[in-house]
Amino acid sequence: MNVVSLAQMLEFSQKGDERGHLVVVEGMEDVPFDIKRIFYIYGSDPDVVRGQHANRESEFVLINVAGTSKVKVKDGKGNEAVYSLNRPHTGVYLPRMIWKDMYDFSEDSVLLCLASTHYDGNEYIRDYDEFVKIVNNQNS
Ligand code: TYD
C-alpha cells in the first residue's frame, strides 16, 4: 500500500450568501474520521519547516483557513507529493504513517489541523531515518 496515494485534497461545500462564507467540516461526513482534536499554526516565517514527523496513529486534515502554505508528504519508499493549501474551503487529508513537512507559510497563514486522536507525543516518529526503517520493515 502506497500511503502517498491515500493522501488527497478535499473540497468542502461553501454555504456563502450575501453575508459572507461559511464552511462546515463534520467528522465522518466531510473528513474520514471523527474529529478528536483541533490545533492551528500561525506566525510561522516563510523559511520555517514544521511537521517533520510521521504519526503511527493519527490521521489529519489540514486547512489554510487564511493565507497559504504547502505540505510535502513522503512514504519513505520514494513516493512523495506536494499539496498547496490556498483556499479556505479545501484541505488535505493525511493518513497514518506518512511523513509530512509544512512550509512556505504566507505571513497571514493560519493552518487549521483536524486530528483523529487526542495528543500523544509517543505516537510521533520524528527521525526520518527511523521512519524509513520502519516502513521498509527493517525495524519496528
Ligand atoms: P509540533 O508537533 O512540533 O508542531 P508541528 O507539527 O507544527 O511541527 O508541536 C509543537 C509543540 O506543541 C510540541 O511541544 C508538542 C506540542 N503539541 C501539543 O501539546 N499538543 C498537540 O496537539 C500538538 C499538535 C502539539
Residue with cell 482534536: 37
Query: How would you write the pLDDT of the chain (140 residues) with one tens digit per residue?
Result: 789 999 999 999 999 899 999 999 999 999 999 999 999 999 999 999 999 999 999 999 999 999 999 999 999 999 999 999 999 999 999 999 999 999 999 999 999 999 999 999 999 999 999 999 999 986 55
Residue whose cell numbers read 461559511: 22
Q: Give pTM, 2 decimals.
A: 0.96
Mutate to test the pocket of ligand 1, among 36, 41, 45, 50 (most ligand atoms within 8 A of CB): 50
CA dihedral 57, 26, 73, 6 (to 10 degrees): 80
pLDDT on residue 67: 98
Ligand 1 atom at shortest distance from the alpha carbon of 41: 7
